[in-house]
Amino acid sequence: MNALEHCFIYGIIDLGYVKPEAVTDITKKLVRGGIDLLQLRAKALPIDQVRTIAQLMVAITQPAGVPFILNDYPQLLTEVPAEGCHLGQDDGSIVEARRIAGRKIIIGRSTHSIEQAVAAQQEGADYIGYGPLFPTPTKPDAAAIGLSALRNLHAQVRIPIFCIGGIKESNLRKVTEAGAERVCIVSDLLTAPDPYAKVRAIKADL
């Protein structure tokens, strides 16, 4: 958890938005811009290609001191020196993921309600993603859960909470005023004409 204490902007390089050959360039831009934490989400790729891309990314993030998280694939953490992995609600237990990784890692859990968030904390998650707050093209079938529970959520959950789902520079102030302390941003970073400048602007506004 200490590694996440000063992480406020969590970026996700989702290969639904970014072509594999563009990952290195956008990773460098986000890291130079000041991203605090970075995840690779590669749902549709074969595991060998995920491994290769993750190795390219971690070679950029580690020298910069930016924790790198793999979405799923705890088994790759025996080969890729990522700091951790992120699990969805249906991706197995945190204990099992730690066992598979075979070393000390950061594990996050996606949550969609206060009940799931509390359960993730009790299960031993190092952080949670909470959302989607707004409708999002990244997960078009997911129902938005809104902002109303954020203060209650932060009162009950003591591990870092990264709010996610449709968050962008234009609505960031509304999200933080509702009680969010940390945010995860996907499409607004990945579709920006200048991802470096976008991270800088978002960090300045948090």
Residue with tokens 């970014």: 18
**Mean pLDDT calculated for residue range 38-56:** 96
Mean pLDDT score across all residues of the chain: 95
Domain ranges of the chain: 2-205
User: Residue 2 has what pLDDT?
Assistant: 67
Question: Mind listing the pLDDT tens digit for each residue in 53-106?
Answer: 999 999 999 999 999 999 999 999 999 999 999 999 999 999 999 999 999 999
Torsion of the alpha carbons at 201, 203, 204 and 205, rounded to the nearest 10: 90
User: Residue 95 has what pLDDT?
Assistant: 97
Query: Tell me: domain 2-205, CATH 3.20.20.70, correct?
Result: yes
Measuring CA to CA, which residue among 149, 157, 156, 107 is closest to residue 132? 149
Q: Which of 41, 109, 182, 198 is catalytic?
A: 41
User: Residue 136 has what pLDDT?
Assistant: 83
Q: Which of 28, 32, 139, 203 is catalytic?
A: 139
41 is catalytic: yes
Q: What angle do CA 39, 65, 69 make, to 5 degrees?
A: 20
Residue 80 to residue 90: CA distance in whole angstroms: 23
Tokens representing residue 199 in the block: 């991270």
32 is catalytic: no
User: Residue 137 has what pLDDT?
Assistant: 79
CB-based burial label for 199 (10 Å; 0-12, 13-18, 19+): buried
**b/e sequence 55-69, b meaning 16+ C-beta within 10 Å:** eebbebbeeeebbbb
Q: Which residues pair with 11 in a beta bridge?
A: 38, 185
Instruction: Please say if the pLDDT value at position 1 is more than 60.
Output: no
User: Residue 204 has what pLDDT?
Assistant: 86
Question: Mind listing the pLDDT tens digit for each residue in 125-153?
Answer: 999 999 999 988 777 787 899 999 999 99
Q: Which of 29, 109, 110, 182 is catalytic?
A: 110
